[in-house]
Amino acid sequence: MKRFLLAALCLPLGAAVQFPNDYAPTNQVAMDNFVAIPMRDGVKLLADIYRPTAPGKYPVIVSRTPYSTERAPNSYESAVYFAQRGYVYVYQDVRGRHESEGKWEPFRNDIGDGYDTIEWAAKQPWSNGKVGMQGGSYLGHVQWRAAMSKPPHLVTIFPAVAATSLYHDWITLNGGWRLSFNFGWGPVRQESRIMQNTGMHTMPGGPESISFDRMLWSMPLYTMQKLAGRNAQFYRDWIDHPDYDAYWKKLNAEEMFDQIGIPVHTFGGFFDIFSQGTIRGYAGVSAKGATPQARKGSNLVIGPWGHGSSRKFGDIDFGEHAHVSQHSLELRWYDFWLKGLRNGLDSEPPVKIYLMGRNEWRHENEYPLARTQYRKLFLRSGGRANGSQGDGRLSWDSPGDEKADGYRYDPDNPVPSLGGNNCCGTPTPAGPKDQRPIENRNDILVYTSDYLTEPLQATGPVKVVLHAASDALDTDFVAKLIDVYPDGRSFNMAEGILRARYREGTDKPKLLEPGKTYELTIDLVGTSVEFQPGHRIRVDIASSHFPQFDRNPNTGEEFGKGTAVKVARQTVHHSRATASHILLPVIPK
């Protein structure tokens, strides 16, 4: 075991003046390197432990990572930051990764290993017995996994940009397979070495090299990873379990919100791939938590970001107050719950939401907002809503007898991904992006409102209800909520997909009857945007969003195993009896 002495240093503060700043560091820091922490099955997980050099007992923050405590960029930053401010920081490689022993199986061992690590930390001579957890993405998800095991000394967690349900937030969205992320994060990033070649991921292999984005076109999905020279069992398992079954349920914190009794602070962005986890994590614990402390003490901060706080994301600069310092928020949270400092946290509203369009933070008492008025904005047309030059429109007035819209979805010519909720080095640009480059396609139905004469705020869950039919046994429907600027730019503000076989639930797959009209509800997760006067509201409907989501082959075959594709002919109805619409969470003035 090596020990290092680290001098105190000041880290930059965030720019968001609406949030309290942190305070200057006061402690020098010692690091114990490669400390072996025993798990219940005898496997040893190694951690670096950062602690104040002054003698005494301190509250502990545990962070568990698959990305290396030693080699990841800025891997020591959080550890030093909190140790300088009076915490012991236990930074651990998860099972089977880097310095730790055992077999790497993503997500599978994080309940027991999280419990054992927390209880070990609570009993060390430098610990005061109070333990919290910290970290984002995978490091945030494992906090939920540990909380599910209810370790006695775990006081609070702060999962940032993190999934609550691996199936619903990470692997799929409403059954639509997150292809570029699953493949890029899984067998490529975690199981291979990749080279950066002018922004493109390329697999080594001389003349037979193949680019990452070309791999995503290959079928079947089950053997795609062989093109990367890998054969990861966990990736095969994911494809073998396309439905929400027992394999996934044991990984879902949402199944256990009523057993989580500690306060939780979720933190994330509306354009993050895990925005659903950020929102549902807070909403679930605040409504169902096992104790009043969990229900009343949990907090939510969600901004106009992707996979981490920023001022500008996608094509939009959201203003000087958009970015906030995650460390400052975490420090105030831990000071309150782990040190017992009366810093005013308990006197503030628990929900902080960035209202895009107006570009300001709003404090709220709950999510969804109690004063929400859910209003239907109806899809209307004369039967020619194809593309931005079509006759599709949105209206608060319900339709009469109108001709349906139709389009042809060809899996060999899918609508390309352009912005949306993705992250982490995959080849689709995330965030709000101008949709005009793809809105001229005939396989996108475009419905646009009149110009607004006064602001309209939509904050909360968003759903699109389609009355639709297909001549295929299975297919996808994609919906986007779009803010159209006066100059014609159109920015996606929320999006969703529904794999039609999951129309009755992701645990109840059922193929379509070709030609039959179904009511299909597409969950667009949520947003907070104020559409400004002179702007228009738009809804785009398509059947593909590739490669962010895999191409539905329309055949109804077993997921990920086939190579055949079929062109599907889709019909969207909007008549008096089949009134397709978007359900907006309108906030009154």
Q: Based on the fold, state whether residues 209 and 112 are members of the same structural domain.
A: no
Q: Based on the fold, state whether residues 345 and 434 are members of the same structural domain.
A: no
**CB-hemisphere CA count at 13 Å for 185?**
19
CATH number assigned to the domain comprising residue 292: 3.40.50.1820
Q: Phi first, then psi: give them for residue 517, nearest 5 degrees.
A: -85, 130
Torsion of CA 536, 537, 543, 548, to 10 degrees: 90
Any domain includes 84? yes
Q: Based on the fold, state whether residues 498 and 545 are members of the same structural domain.
A: yes
Q: For residue 84, give the H/E element and its range.
A: helix 77-84
Within 10 angstroms of residue 81's Cβ, the number of other Cβ atoms is 23
Instruction: Provide the β-strand partners of residue 131.
Output: 60, 154
Q: Based on the fold, state whether residues 260 and 304 are members of the same structural domain.
A: yes
Of 190, 181, 192, nearest in space to 424 by CA? 181
Q: Based on the fold, state whether residues 153 and 294 are members of the same structural domain.
A: yes
Domain boundary among 299, 329, 364: 364
Domain boundary among 341, 364, 387: 364
d(CA 566, CA 472): 8
Q: Based on the fold, state whether residues 234 and 255 are members of the same structural domain.
A: no
Q: Based on the fold, state whether residues 107 and 209 are members of the same structural domain.
A: no
Any domain includes 58? yes
**Terminal CA-CA length for the chain:** 61
Q: Based on the fold, state whether residues 184 and 111 are members of the same structural domain.
A: no
Any domain includes 246? no
d(CA 422, CA 131): 32
Q: 218 CB contacts (<8 Å, ≥6 apart)? A: 224, 227
d(CA 515, CA 471): 5
Q: Helix (H, G, I), strand (E, B), or coil: what is residue 150? A: coil
Token pair for 387:
């593309």
From first to last of the 589 residues of the chain, give the pLDDT tens digit. 444 444 333 323 223 335 778 899 999 999 999 999 999 999 999 999 999 999 999 999 999 999 988 877 677 899 999 999 999 999 999 999 999 999 999 999 999 999 999 999 999 999 999 999 999 999 999 999 999 999 999 999 999 999 999 999 999 999 999 999 999 898 877 654 332 322 333 333 333 346 888 899 999 999 999 888 888 899 999 999 999 999 999 999 999 999 999 999 999 999 999 999 999 999 999 999 999 999 999 999 999 999 999 999 999 999 999 999 999 999 999 999 999 999 999 999 999 999 999 999 999 999 999 999 999 999 999 999 999 999 999 999 999 999 999 999 999 999 999 999 999 877 788 999 999 999 999 999 999 999 999 999 999 999 999 999 999 999 999 999 999 999 999 999 999 999 999 999 999 999 999 999 999 999 999 999 999 999 999 999 999 999 999 999 999 999 999 999 999 999 999 999 999 999 999 999 8
Annotated catalytic residue, options 63, 100, 127, 137: 137
Q: What is the pTM of this model?
A: 0.93
Q: Based on the fold, state whether residues 256 and 192 are members of the same structural domain.
A: no
Helix axes of 326-338 and 77-84: crossing angle, nearest 10 degrees:
40
Torsion of CA 505, 511, 516, 519, to 10 degrees: 10
Q: Based on the fold, state whether residues 148 and 71 are members of the same structural domain.
A: yes
Any domain includes 103? yes
Annotated catalytic residue, options 113, 116, 272, 474: 272
Any domain includes 210? yes
Long-range Cβ contacts of 34-43 (<8 Å, 24+ apart): 34/1, 34/2, 34/99, 35/1, 37/90, 37/92, 37/116, 37/117, 37/120, 38/116, 38/120, 39/95, 39/102, 39/112, 39/113, 39/116, 40/112, 40/116, 43/95, 43/100, 43/101, 43/102
Within 10 angstroms of residue 146's Cβ, the number of other Cβ atoms is 25
How many structural domains comprise the chain?
3
Range of the structural domain that residue 212 is part of: 174-240
Of 27, 36, 136, 137, nearest in space to 83 by CA? 27
Q: Based on the fold, state whether residues 559 and 431 are members of the same structural domain.
A: yes
Q: 51 CB contacts (<8 Å, ≥6 apart)? A: 29, 30, 31, 32, 58, 83, 88, 89, 126
Token pair for 165:
């349900």
Any domain includes 467? yes
Within 10 angstroms of residue 383's Cβ, the number of other Cβ atoms is 14
Any domain includes 531? yes
Annotated catalytic residue, options 265, 307, 573, 581: 307
Domain boundary among 187, 219, 240: 240
307 is catalytic: yes
d(CA 487, CA 474): 38
Q: Based on the fold, state whether residues 310 and 227 are members of the same structural domain.
A: no
Any domain includes 245? no
d(CA 257, CA 270): 22
Q: Phi first, then psi: give them for residue 294, nearest 5 degrees.
A: -70, -45
573 is catalytic: no
